[in-house]
Amino acid sequence: MRSKEKSDNRRALPKYILMLLIAAFFGGLVGFGAGIMGAGNLSGSITAAVENVLMAAAPWGIPVTSVVFLGLGWWFYAKARRIYKTWDGEEEAPIEKAEEDLSWALLMSAIAMLWDFFFVSVLVVCQGTWPMGRLGGLGMFFVSIAVIVVHQQKVVDLTRRINPEKQGSVYDTKFLKKWVDSCDESEQRQMGQAAFKAYRAAVNTCLWLWAALIVLHYAFDTGLLPIVMVLVVFGVLQIVYTLECIRLSRKGGGAWT
């Protein structure tokens, strides 16, 4: 067994070193280019241009993205509702399609919420004269969030009608725990697989963001705070995941708590 471990390491090590060298080479090129931009004050012009575009788009960003993505979300929800109303209670294919449509509906609401947070951040951070004012932008943000919550409530309620064993309300602070506890082992296994994939994607994203922010600091003088924030998220992911693995191994798999 020990010789197999050494053999696996010997096979993987050259590719790993090559990948590090390639990353270092391209990272050096990008860093050199960023340094030139910073020295030539190109970064100031780019920053000003980006801020002007964002300030022009921000007042209308929330209503436009809400109409687009929440419109799609309600459309997927309506499709699933029509399928459920005509379902004979026997055939599985139609109801599986309805559940898939409900998943797409939730995805659309999540994307709408992401855009809401982005544009409200622009309204708060960027300086400028806003046609509707910051209060108007914040008002649209809260309206959009309210619509998103109602949309998610409708999706969850329809899912519960399709699967009567499901428990929980989106307005309950313990909704996720109740929902997961009411899922069967197959569904919980799917959640675990999806969660692990999301964890890996988040960890890789944090590493890429850390590298990008290091480079961008040379061009745009972004400072230490953004880097620290990325490392905080990276640390939380790693530490919580490892501690939870230890806890679950002690409990022999354990229930979701």
pLDDT of residue 40: 46
Mind listing the pLDDT tens digit for each residue in 101-129?
Answer: 999 999 999 999 999 998 888 887 775 55
Annotate 172-189 with three-state secondary structure. CCCHHHHHHHCCCHHHHH
Contacts 24+ apart (CB under 8 A), 224-231: 230/206, 231/206
User: Quick check: 39 pLDDT over 50?
Assistant: no
What's the pLDDT tens digit per position in 82-97? 999 998 877 888 888 9
For residue 80, pLDDT over 80 is answered with: yes
Q: Which pLDDT score is estimated for 124?
A: 77
More confident residue, 239 or 179: 239
- The pLDDT-based confidence of 36 (bands split at 50, 70, 90) is very low
Query: Among the listed ranges 49-53, 137-141, 226-230, which one has the minimum average pLDDT value?
Result: 49-53
Place of tokens 């692990």: 196
Question: Rounded to an integer, what distance in angstroms lies between the CA atom of residue 94 and that of residue 83?
Answer: 7
Which residues have C-beta within 8 Å of that of residue 208, sequence separation ≥ 6? none
Predicted local confidence at residue 88, as pLDDT: 80
Q: Is the pLDDT of residue 1 over 60?
A: no
Q: Per mean pLDDT, which range of 89-98, 157-166, 188-197, 219-228 is the poorest?
A: 219-228
Q: Which of 64, 62, 66, 60 is nearest to 150 (CA)?
A: 66
Residue 20 is predicted with a pLDDT of 53
pLDDT at 105: 95
Place of tokens 């080479």: 25
| % of the chain beyond a pLDDT of 70 | 74
**pLDDT, tens only, 179-202:** 888 888 888 888 889 989 999 999
Binned at pLDDT 50, 70 and 90, residue 132 comes out as low
Tokens 């501690």: give the residue. Answer: 243
Could you tell me the pTM of the whole model?
Answer: 0.74
Six token digits for residue 237? 């992911």
pLDDT at 29 over 60: no
For residue 117, the tally of other CB atoms under 10 A from its CB is 11
